[in-house]
Each structure stands twice: as structure tokens, then as C-alpha cells.
Amino acid sequence: MSILVLLRLVHLVAVVVFLGDIAVTAVWRLLADRTREPRVIVYALRLVLFTDKYLLTPSVLVLVITGFLSAYLRDIPLWSNPFYAVAQILFMASGVLWNLVLRPVQSRQLAIAETLGASEEHFADYLLLTKKWLRWGVLTMVCAFGSMVLMVLGSERGRGLVQPRDAQALIAPSQGIQERAYLQGQPRSSPVPGDDVVALLE
């Protein structure tokens, strides 16, 4: 297994964990809120914070590392390709929204939920925060899933336009040999060392 294949595999696993955590935790929260049971709500919120810490955050780090490393090894222009450029902006936007809006709201809701009793005295405040979390959460999900879609479209558009660094290293010497053969009076189409490598790469 080559390093590029391994990086792609790890990157795809991180994508599944990243998007899956976002979608599943939203479902957990909404279903827990519908029960109006303080113990269920507290348990769900603690699970959300747990998965954010041990699944979402690591998956983001893996996505960034494997993505940029793969792009470097394959000489992929991340910012000159409009699909990749917008995808990265959306990915960063989802991270900013999660860190600056969703996380603080979740922490405040957990604090309120832990004080809820049978009287549901503070439940109205909790539901107001849920509505805020839902609005910003939908926007965060749109950014995250939109980033994935644009990455796929960008890879399809750029397919065949870039080559891995190791492939370029093999092609360059063979092209130099062909040029020297031409200058020595040999036709360019004559077999020279390295042609078999180029043929395999094509």
C-alpha cells in the first residue's frame, strides 16, 4: 500500500467520523429534548460533549493533516482550484461556528439542564437556547457537508491535471533523455531508456 493510498484511506475515515458526529449528535439532542426529562437531556448533552472531544476534534485534526499532506505529495493547487478554495473556506467556517457559537450554547444548556426539576422552571430558557443552537447548527452542517461536496467536485475537475511527485520524478529524466537523443540526430520517436516508464504512467 502506497503512502498516497494510505493517506486517502485515513482521510476518508476522518470524513465519515467528522460528518457522522455532526449529524448524529444533532439527532441525539433533538430526541432528548422531546422527552422533556431532565435526566435524559443531561445524559444526551454529556454524550454530545464527550463525542465532540474524542471524535469530532481528532477527526478535524486528521482531516487537516492528511488533506494537506496528500495535496503536497500530489502537487494539488488547493487555492487556485475554486472548488478546493471554497471548500476550505466552508470547512474553516464550520469550525469557527462550532467553537464560537455551538460549544458555548451546549455548555450553558448543560448547566441549565442539571438544575431542571419537576417544575420545569428553567425549561423555557433551555428551549430558547435549543432554538439558537438549531439555527446555527444547521448553518454549520451546511458548511461542513458543502465542503465535502466541493472537495469531491474539485477532485473530479482536477483529475489528470496533476501527477504525484514520484511520477514527475520518473517522467522528467526520460524527457531529458529524449531531448539529448534528438540533438544527437536520433528521431524523437525512437525508443530510448525511460519510454517504458512513461508508457506505464500513461
Query: In this structure, what DSSP letter does residue 81 have?
Result: S
Q: What is the pLDDT of residue 200?
A: 46
Strand ranges (DSSP E) for 50-98? none
Please give the residue range of the domain that contains residue 195: 165-201
- Count of other CB atoms within 10 angstroms of residue 101: 17
At CA 55, angle to CA 126 and CA 2, rounded to 5? Answer: 155
Q: What is the pLDDT of residue 53?
A: 94
Per-residue pLDDT of the chain (202 residues; tens, 9 = 90+): 799 999 999 999 999 999 999 999 999 999 999 998 989 999 999 999 999 999 999 999 999 999 999 999 999 888 999 999 999 999 999 999 999 999 999 999 999 999 886 556 788 899 999 999 999 999 999 999 999 999 999 887 766 544 445 545 444 455 555 555 445 555 555 454 445 544 444 4
User: Residues 116-124: contacts with CB within 8 Å, 24+ apart?
Assistant: 116/38, 116/41, 117/38, 120/36, 123/36
| Same domain membership, residue 190 and residue 141 | no
| Same domain membership, residue 179 and residue 150 | no
CB of 106 within 8 A of CB of 49?
A: yes
Q: What is the pLDDT of residue 170?
A: 45
Number of domains in the chain: 2
User: pTM here?
Assistant: 0.74
| Same domain membership, residue 123 and residue 55 | yes
| Same domain membership, residue 192 and residue 128 | no
| Same domain membership, residue 79 and residue 110 | yes
- Count of other CB atoms within 10 angstroms of residue 176: 11
CB of 163 within 8 A of CB of 75?
A: yes
| Same domain membership, residue 189 and residue 110 | no
| Same domain membership, residue 180 and residue 147 | no
> Which grid coordinates are listed for 33?
429534548
Percent of residues in the chain assigned helix, strand, coil, to nearest 5: 80, 0, 20
